[in-house]
Amino acid sequence: MNGDEKKYWYSLKIRGISKGTQPEGYIDIDKSKGKWGSIAYNRPLTEEELDHFDLVPLKQKEDKVISFEGPKYTILRSDRKKYEKHWVYRIQALKGFGDVKAGELGGYIESDRNLSHNNNSWVYDNAVVFGNSKVKGNSVIKDYAVIKNSHVSNTTVKGKSILVDSDVYDSTILDYSYIDNATVKKSSLSDRVFISGDREKALLIGCQLSQDVNIDGQVKVKNSILENTVSIEGDTILDSVSYSDNRKIVDQEVMEVSNKLEKNSFHYER
């Protein structure tokens, strides 16, 4: 190894160094820094690598570690509640970041794996994140939102929205929206949007959905606007369309419904 080679140091959060527990290609280790030691690379690791292997960047000067940044929050085991047979615990910020102040209380998570220690992602208020969920990037989960077994990145989820078994990126999910078994990218959902995939995940990319939109099945929608009571079912693919006011689409066939479609309503456990 070149002695002049720059080192990028990272602390291991939940386990020591062993085969398969960190990205390949590390060039140095220091077991004296952090609870589980630290590890160095000749390149900056990506956010995906940090989240996947539970690593935290170390503050450094040249190739020497000068301080351990540590986690951005702690889990308060004394403040817990049971949600869908899972114990979830309130979090508290250990340092300031984004609009969060050191010492500020957040919402509830099941474990350290549910919320990244990198960037400004945060769970606020009485929101709940549990199961195999991962919230990262600059995501905001607040109010009474629930994230279950879902991956969320650079996304805002507010109100009483619920995400289940879904992947949501660079989007905004507001009000009473419910997303189950879907992939959502660069989209805005608000005011009672219901999405439920089938054998394959439903897919939304670059869409605006609002006011009682229902999607049920292997539906794929791109670059479209759906609003004011629209229902889509079956194996439907839509691209660059705009539908509103009591439209129903089943297996590509578009129908105008004479009787007003029933509005969405969801039950929330609280």
Please give the pLDDT value at position 55.
82
What's the rounded Cα separation, in Å, for the pair 60 and 137?
22
Please give the pLDDT value at position 255.
72
The verdict on residue 173 lying in a domain is yes
Averaged over 137-160, what is the pLDDT? 97
The 8-class DSSP code of residue 67 comes to: E
8 Å CB contact between 191 and 175: yes
* Phi and psi at residue 126, to the nearest 5°: -115, 20
- Per residue in 166-222, pLDDT (tens digit) is 999 999 999 999 999 999 999 999 999 999 998 788 999 999 999 999 999 999 999
Which of these three, 129, 161, 193, is where a domain ends? 161
Q: In the structure, what pLDDT confidence band is assigned to residue 165 with cuts at 50, 70 and 90? A: very high
The verdict on residue 266 lying in a domain is no
- Per residue in 7-60, pLDDT (tens digit) is 888 888 777 788 788 898 898 888 777 677 888 899 888 877 887 787 878 765
- The b/e string for 175-209 (b: 16+ C-beta within 10 A; e otherwise) is bbbbbbbbbbbbbbbbbbbbbbbeeebbbbbbbbb
Sheet-wide strand order for 253-256:
73-83, 86-93, 105-109, 128-130, 146-148, 162-164, 178-180, 193-196, 213-216, 230-233, 247-250, 253-256
- Write the single-letter amino acid at 73: Y
Averaged over 87-103, what is the pLDDT? 94
Domain count along the chain: 3
255 lies in the same domain as 169: yes
Whose CA is closest to 169, among 157, 183, 153, 181? 153
The verdict on residue 153 lying in a domain is yes
54 lies in the same domain as 80: no
Whose CA is closest to 161, among 172, 149, 170, 169? 172
224 lies in the same domain as 178: yes
Q: In the structure, what pLDDT confidence band is assigned to residue 267 with cuts at 50, 70 and 90? A: very low
Please list the residues that pair with 156 across neighbouring strands: 140, 172
The verdict on residue 269 lying in a domain is no
Q: In the structure, what pLDDT confidence band is assigned to residue 107 with cuts at 50, 70 and 90? A: very high
Please give the pLDDT value at position 3.
53
Is residue 262 scored above 70 in pLDDT? no
**Which residues constitute the domain of residue 128?**
71-161
185 lies in the same domain as 253: yes
Please give the pLDDT value at position 270.
42
* Phi and psi at residue 208, to the nearest 5°: -120, 115
Averaged over 99-126, what is the pLDDT? 94
